[in-house]
């Protein structure tokens, strides 16, 4: 199942993810109309600065989510179809136990400060086959909507290519003829470029 992955090295703290989230969760779904809505639509993602990195903090929709387990009235539930953890505001009693147990700080107070408020994973957008709003709005691709197996496979290929290049470089220093590793790497580059 796809989830939102973060590469904080690419985040410029432009806060487009916050804006897109707020628009996606507004009643109008439009930037100019959303500005005048009352109460205003709150973003469910918050870009936080740490020394050297900007981090968009959002709910990661944990498996065995602490917020879900801690809620005394069952106001938090998992949506099996999308794999997201949802706050059912109509059931929330405002005890904020979920806020206390969330290891990410992703659960916040609603606009009126009486209910829990958090990322819903853009459940409605997912059902329509769209990416979450924070991902689709990220200009640097610091946020990606992907299957974690795909990330792992890509990293394995990158590691293999680095190792092969290092070995090829070491072999080129030792002898000036092309090694079989160099030939393989050249073939892969040609295949990648079509």
pLDDT digits (tens, 9 = 90+) for 118-132: 999 999 999 899 999
Contact 46, 55 (CB under 8 A): no
Question: How far is it, in rounded angstroms, from Cα 21 to Cα 133?
Answer: 5
pLDDT at 172: 60
Give domain limits for the chain: 3-146, 150-192
Contact 53, 6 (CB under 8 A): no
Question: How far is it, in rounded angstroms, from Cα 106 to Cα 96?
Answer: 12
pLDDT at 185: 84
Q: Is 119 exposed, middle or buried (0-12, 13-18, 19+ CB in 10 A)?
A: buried
Neighbours of 153 (CB within 10 A): 11
Planar angle of CA 129, 131, 133, nearest 5 degrees: 130
CATH class of the domain comprising 3-146: alpha beta
171, HSE (Cβ side, Cα atoms, 13 Å): 13
- The stretches in the chain having pLDDT less than 70 are 171-178, 194
pLDDT at 150: 87
pLDDT digits (tens, 9 = 90+) for 132-157: 999 999 999 999 999 888 888 888 99
pLDDT at 173: 58
5, HSE (Cβ side, Cα atoms, 13 Å): 14
Planar angle of CA 148, 117, 14, nearest 5 degrees: 60
pLDDT at 16: 95
pLDDT at 165: 86
pTM reported for the whole predicted model:
0.73
């Amino acid at each position: 199942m796809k989830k939102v992955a973060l590469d904080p090295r690419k985040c410029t703290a432009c806060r487009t993810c916050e804006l897109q989230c707020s628009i996606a969760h507004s009643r109008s779904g439009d930037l100019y109309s959303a500005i005048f809505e009352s109460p205003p639509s709150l973003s469910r993602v918050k870009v936080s600065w740490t020394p050297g990195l900007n981090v968009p903090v959002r709910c990661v929709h944990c498996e065995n989510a602490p917020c879900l387990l801690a809620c005394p009235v069952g106001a938090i539930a998992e949506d099996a179809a999308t794999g997201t953890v949802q706050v059912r505001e109509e059931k929330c009693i405002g005890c904020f136990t979920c806020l206390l147990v969330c290891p990410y700080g992703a659960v916040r107070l609603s606009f009126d400060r009486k209910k829990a408020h958090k990322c819903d994973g853009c459940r409605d957008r997912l059902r329509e086959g769209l990416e979450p709003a924070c991902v689709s709005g990220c200009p640097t691709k610091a946020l990606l909507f992907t299957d974690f197996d795909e990330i792992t496979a890509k990293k394995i290929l990158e590691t293999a290519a680095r190792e092969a290049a290092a070995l090829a470089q070491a072999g080129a220093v030792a002898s000036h003829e092309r090694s079989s590793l160099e030939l393989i790497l050249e073939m892969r580059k040609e295949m990648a470029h079509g």
